[in-house]
Amino acid sequence: MSKTSIYGLTFEQLTAWLLEHGHRKFRASQVWDWLYKKRVTQFSDMIDVNKECTELLEQHFVIQTLEEHVKQESTDGTIKFLFRLKDGNLIETVLMRQKFGLSVCVTTQVGCNIGCSFCASGLLKKSRDLSSGEIVEQIMKVQHHLDAAKQDELVTHVVVMGIGEPFDNFANMIDFIDVIKDRKGLAIAGRRITVSTSGLADKIKEFADANTQVNLAISLHAPNDELRTRIMKINRANPIEKLMDAVDYYLTKTNRRIMFEYILLRDVNDRVEHALELAELIRDKQQLASVNLIPYNPVDEHSQYQRSEHESILLFYDALKKQGVNCTVRLEHGTDIDAACGQLRSKQIKETPEVVL
């Protein structure tokens, strides 16, 4: 019998499963506590759960499915983990030390089919979605790393911005959010979780309807269709007008702030006229929108793109601010350890061609 990750069950799903298998409801609370508060890695360590229950769990589930393959530590405290999945595939997870806490960036797919022409994570096409358990376990692996350091540190923030398009793995992503938000477990508040999408308009509306109470970021990267289609092929199916209609639906439905992410590419999308066009595009959304300007991380395979000059970044920022746009320039983390998303994975696969794809 193929076992699945216990981390893939929400609390409600775990409760229903145990009831279906003849156990009382309180067992779910016990098991949940051992998984997420005491953070055991073996069912046999759940010492106040009766043996019949732990043996049943052992028969059907596993706790650990990810194996640490490579770990890189930056001088700024960022740690990048390359995990090997049970099928041999590799995924990346990043721990970032921020002023406001410890943030983890998780991956949702093996590879990516979105095809952004500047992105390292799309160098290898999607081979499969991650299960909700595999996404949750990334958080747990990082938390176990922190636990081992014995400094009483907890993961406080999560960004779903790693390899893959989260909205292309929608159901598993929603279950993942449910698990990490649960107050009886990791208790990561919705306001401290951000999901990033390249702009799947229909899924943005579905996300609004799901009422997850987490933050949404849109990878925009261009202020018009001609330019956005050139650098992001997803824009062919989800042009800006369709995308902005979905954004309007989201803002009306949730009344939550939204962030537009904008990677600055030298002499491509970083001129002042682009900034003014961007400001006009989101003018009617400015009360609930902000722009996060991102200095580009150059990728060897995408040598046609370079990081914008510092002066260009400042001029772009200044133009947006003068138009009343709330914007920031992203603080960089891990620039000395293959900082671009997907970069470490692609380098490792080149070095170890036997990896399953």
Active site residues: 92, 341
Asked whether the beta carbons of 79 and 28 are under 8 A apart, the reply is: no
Classify residue 93 as exposed, middle or buried by CB count within 10 Å of its CB (0-12, 13-18, 19+): buried
Q: What is the dihedral of CA 231, 234, 238, 241, to 10 degrees?
A: -10
Q: Does the CA dihedral 279-285-290-295 come out positive or negative?
A: negative
The answer to whether 235 and 200 have CB atoms below 8 angstroms apart is no
Asked if residue 313 lies in contact with residue 291, where contact means CB atoms within 8 angstroms, the answer is no
Q: Are 65 and 86 in contact (CB under 8 A)?
A: yes
